[in-house]
A and B are shown apart, each in its own frame.
Chain A
Amino acid sequence: MSLSEELENLSKHVIKYGLSLGADQVEVYIVTGVTKAIQIELGSIHKFTETSDSGIGVRVIKNKAIGMSSTTIFTIESIEQTVKNAYSLAKVSTPDSNFNSLPEDTTPTPTIADTFDKNIIELPVEDFTQIMLESINEAKVEENAIISGNFSAGSGERYIVNSQGIERHSVRTSINGYLSVKIQKGDDIGNSYYFDSSPLLRNFEHIKIGKEAGKRAKRMLGSQKIETKDLPILMDPETTYFTVSNILSRGINAFNVINKTAFFIDKIGDKIASELLSIKDNPFYPGGTGSAAFDDEGVVPREVSLVKDGILQTYITDSYTAPLVGLKNTAHASRDSFSSRPRPSLYSLEIKAGDTPKDSIQEDMKEGILLIGSPIPSMGNNPQISAQINQGFYIKDGEIKHPVKNTVIGCTVFELYEKIAVLSKETENRKGHISPWILLEALRISGGK
């Protein structure tokens, strides 16, 4: 019997066993996988690792009360004990009247192109090492460059089965690389990083990882403190993507909506941002790192428009939250791990481009800050932003003068979305994460000068 068949049988056994104990509904979530990784220190190999990433999570419902249990021990005794634990926890827990049902979905599982590559599974360790060495070589922009990082490659399978008829299985591969480069000239330190991740070996940009990490580190030399003042901010596509998605994922998450902590509660159909902002979420982007044929409850999602011309179109929901906010399940359920309860989360955003050339946006800045790979997150579920600039540059008369250090941006998520003033016509597409450059009108910048 193959591993897939074994796990399929195991999933079915968990459901049957849970129901036989007296559960009303049962769900099992299994992940299995092996990851090979190379850790780099001082530009050479420090550690080779090969680790198992496997676990089973069981969710049991009894009289609308939910119990969850998980294990990494794949013996039948341990798994049955896990089901018993979940059942006992459900029995002692209080019913949740908001709970409707585990999801049902008979949609055939779609196929997403370019999410599996046997070349990654069969990648010989020597070839994997060669990829890493080529990347390191590109990062050596200076003789004294200190290079560290991590490369990993592996495959993972995901099984979701529930007592309401859902039976899903997916397998995907992934190769990832991250390099950090430090260059020191006396007391002056330039430090930066770059990363890439891909389900396909052929799309993995290992040369770019080294090149960009080295180039960025060199650019960070000569950083200076600046004065406290209000300044416009130009965000590169990486900064734009993570800033916009961080705010959106908290702001329109239906779980936060039902708890009244979502930034954009009761705003469907209302303006939440500059009319220049339009965002789609595409779970089926071929070769996308955020793509998935079904969510972490086994429901098939679809492409959805989240923000159009600054107007909020929908919240993101899962089976628990959808009925509570009066929307259809958008299939955004996501788990941090096999042991977690699912919550809504985004897949892969496309932020619509503008019509201004990127270079002319910068050229027109009299004074401002340019952010490269330096997201501006909110303070958790609070709409306040008080974020350190990790990779920023002071711009005067359209030219980069120097990197900044010891500098913090202070505003709110509402201000940040409203102050989107210009979007570039160029976009960067990082395996389905699509984003332009964005210019924000002046925000408060606290400097150490």
Chain B
Amino acid sequence: MLDLLSQVLDKLTLNAKDFVDIRYAYSMGETITVRNGRFDSVSNQTTGGIAVRALINNAWGFTSIIQTDKESITKAVEKAIQIAKVGSKYTDEKRIISDDWVYEGKGETVIEIDPRDIDKEIKFKKLIETEKAARKYSDRVVEASTTYQESHSREFIVNNKGTKVENEVHVIRLMKNVIGREGTKMQNVFDSIGGAGGWELVEKWDPEEEGIKAASQVEKLLHAQTPPSGKMNVIMDPSLTGVFIHEAFGHACEADAIIAKRSILEGKIGEQVGVEQINVFDDPTIPGLRGSFKYDSEGTRTSKRTLVNKGVLTEYFHTLETATALGMKPNGSGRASSFNVTPLARMANTYVDSGDMKLEEIAEIAKEGVYLKNSYGGYVVPAKGQFYFTCQMGYTIEKGEIANLMGNVGMSGMTLEVLKNTFAVGDKWEPAFLGTCGKGGQWVPVTGGGPNMGVSDVVVGGQK
């Protein structure tokens, strides 16, 4: 495929400042969901096609097609160039891609056990027995569902600067969602395992244990107290720290938002944005995590990014375009979820590095507040620097001790305040938030994580 794409590219007559890349993306996936003892969905999906980008005279043209023959690809390239030329008439900004970054190579997720070789009955058994154990545990469990997902994607990328890359990523995930109801009160517990790899990442899942664990948490949450409301001290567990750093900070570090002047962190490289104990990284090179890959969708080799070093902002997430525009080095953050969309600057595995405090010590400093656990997700408006995230459960902190169980709640904070309001960083980081990040209509697998972390003045949106 690389040769075919190169042949099309070689026939083009381009100016020195022009940029054209062609990407073939193919993906196969399998999804199985069991809900309340029934197969809700047993499906597989195949997508494949060609994506062409052309940057001509400061404007981009993009086309995608489902045909993969030479003639169709050639026409798609011509079309991308043609529409870029139209766009260039209405563009005031200077946009180029540097000639400095050329990549060649092949990346492939290491798989120990290929999930495609695992019998469906074995996959079914994990799902059925998990949700069955949850429902058996309590009559108050009204819905128990389990989902298995595997995806196998390949990208072939060539560009006129000389990049020729093939990348293969395999992602696997096993999820459970248990909902309990008592009258009008409902609580749910969600959890998952998996990452970039094979069956070995989910093999250890013990269905009965996982089902009972979720159901017993739901039982307790149905009788938990209502979360408080107002501004208070918050301790986040590693999963919450993960979604917090992803939403509150990670999105604001995406360089396309920086260039578009839509991030609160624009122009803040080298500035103190948090307390000295804070170090934030994003590392797609860690094997086995959901956001792990060797080359991005522009063919750039990925590397570990240091976003914050001792409280100082040091790096953004870059595509080739943003790195050129800001005079920085690309770091392989250009991710596209399919052939039908263009790569955007995205996170991969984002985490706060560990500090040195035990949970009990952090609670003692907090004195009063809440200890929040298990993320549900969140969102941010990077232009305003206002973010929101939610947890599944938590505990009140009273007189410096972790006290009473409480139900789910959402929180709001300001990006430029929270890292400065951090008063304690726990002693062990975990990649505990397994997420799927949405941006511009594209969804990509990510991980977030960190240690327990104490932050003051977070707004908690409870009902009392």
Contact = CB atoms under 8 A, between A and B. Distances in A.
Interface in A169-219: 180, 182, 189, 191
Interface string A429-449: 000000000000000101111
Contacts of A448: 231, 412, 414, 457, 459
Interface stretch (B89-97, B161-169, B208-216, B304-312): B89-97
Interface stretch (A15-23, A90-98, A240-248, A295-303): A90-98
Q: Main SS of the interface on chain B?
A: strand
B36 A259 contact: yes
Interface in B259-292: 259-262, 264
B199 interface: no
A191 B383 contact: yes
Interface string A15-41: 000000000000000000000001101
Given A89-B44, A93-B39, 18 more contacts: A45-B90, A47-B61, A48-B61, A49-B63, A65-B39, A73-B46, A89-B43, A146-B262, A189-B264, A228-B231, A260-B142, A261-B181, A384-B408, A408-B410, A410-B463, A412-B184, A444-B463, A446-B230
A405 interface: yes
Given A74-B66, A447-B459, A386 B49 contact: no
Interface string A52-82: 1111000000000111111111100010001
Contacts of A94: 38-39, 124
A408 B264 CA distance: 21
A133 interface: yes
A92 B91 contact: no
B231 A72 contact: no
A447 B463 contact: no
A111 interface: no
B388 to A, nearest CB: 4
Question: Could you say which of B60, B124, B383, B461 has the most chain A C-beta atoms within 10 Å of its C-beta?
Answer: B461
B42 A89 contact: yes
A122 interface: no
12 contacts: A50-B79, A52-B65, A70-B46, A146-B260, A148-B262, A182-B383, A339-B45, A381-B188, A384-B407, A386-B463, A444-B464, A447-B231
Contacts of A86: 43
Contacts of B185: 383
A50 B42 contact: no
A71 B47 contact: yes
Nearest to B64: A51
A120 B385 CA distance: 37
Given A51-B340, A448-B231, A408 B460 contact: yes
Interface in A92-108: 92-94, 96, 98
A361 B261 CA distance: 38
Contacts of A38: 87
Interface of B: 35-36, 38-49, 59-66, 79, 83-84, 86-87, 90-93, 95, 120-121, 124, 142-143, 179, 181, 184-188, 227, 229-231, 259-262, 264, 340-342, 376, 381, 383-386, 388, 390, 407-414, 457, 459-464
A407 interface: yes
A38 B36 CA distance: 45
Contact of A68 (B43, B46, B385): B43
Given A42-B261, A189-B384, A259-B36, A387 B44 contact: no
B376 A48 contact: no
Contacts of B229: 228, 408, 410, 444, 446
B59 A47 contact: yes
Contacts of B408: 379, 382, 384, 386
A69 to B, nearest CB: 5
Contacts of A146: 260-262, 383
A5 interface: no
B184 A383 contact: yes
Nearest to A71: B46
Contacts of B90: 44-45, 129, 133
A51 B53 CA distance: 12
B459 A47 contact: no
Contacts of B36: 259
A386 to B, nearest CB: 3
B340 A53 contact: yes
A408 B411 CA distance: 7
A85 B262 CA distance: 45
A380 interface: yes
Contacts of B62: 47-51
Contacts of B383: 146, 180, 182, 189, 191
A126 interface: yes
How big is chain A's contact interface, by range?
35 or more
Nearest 9 A/B pairs, CB to CB: A408-B461, A386-B410, A68-B43, A260-B142, A228-B230, A47-B60, A388-B388, A386-B461, A48-B83
B60 to A, nearest CB: 4
A131 interface: no
A66 B42 CA distance: 7
A387 B412 CA distance: 9
B386 A410 contact: no
A170 B388 CA distance: 40
Nearest to B61: A48
A44 B461 contact: no
Given A42-B93, A47-B342, A48-B62, A85 B414 contact: no
Interface string A120-164: 000001100100010000000000001010000000000000000
A122 to B, nearest CB: 16
Nearest to B413: A406
A387 B459 CA distance: 11
A391 to B, nearest CB: 10
Nearest to A443: B463
A48 B60 contact: yes
Contact of B409 (A53, A263, A390, A410): A410
A42 B384 CA distance: 16
Contacts of A73: 46-49, 66
B343 to A, nearest CB: 12
A341 interface: yes
B461 A388 contact: yes
A407 to B, nearest CB: 7
A411 B463 contact: yes
Contacts of A366: none
Contacts of B463: 384, 386, 410-412, 444
Contacts of B65: 52
A44 B342 contact: no
A133 B89 CA distance: 12
A252 interface: no
B42 A68 contact: yes
A82 B407 CA distance: 44
A386 B390 contact: yes
Interface string A355-387: 000000000000000000000000111111011
Contacts of A71: 45-47
Contacts of B341: 51
Contacts of B461: 386-388, 408-410, 444, 446
A324 to B, nearest CB: 11
Contacts of A386: 227, 390, 408-410, 461-463
Given A51-B64, A72-B49, A382 B188 contact: yes
A70 B381 contact: no
B86 A126 contact: yes
A120 B62 CA distance: 20
A69 B30 CA distance: 9
A406 B459 contact: yes
Question: Could you say which of B35, B41, B185 has the most chain A C-beta atoms within 10 Å of its C-beta?
Answer: B41
Nearest to B407: A384
B58 to A, nearest CB: 9
Question: Could you say which of B230, B259, B407 has the most chain A C-beta atoms within 10 Å of its C-beta?
Answer: B230
Question: Could you say which of A43, A180, A260 has the most chain B C-beta atoms within 10 Å of its C-beta?
Answer: A260
Given A380-B188, A446-B460, A261 B66 contact: no
Contact of B260 (A42, A72, A383, A411): A42
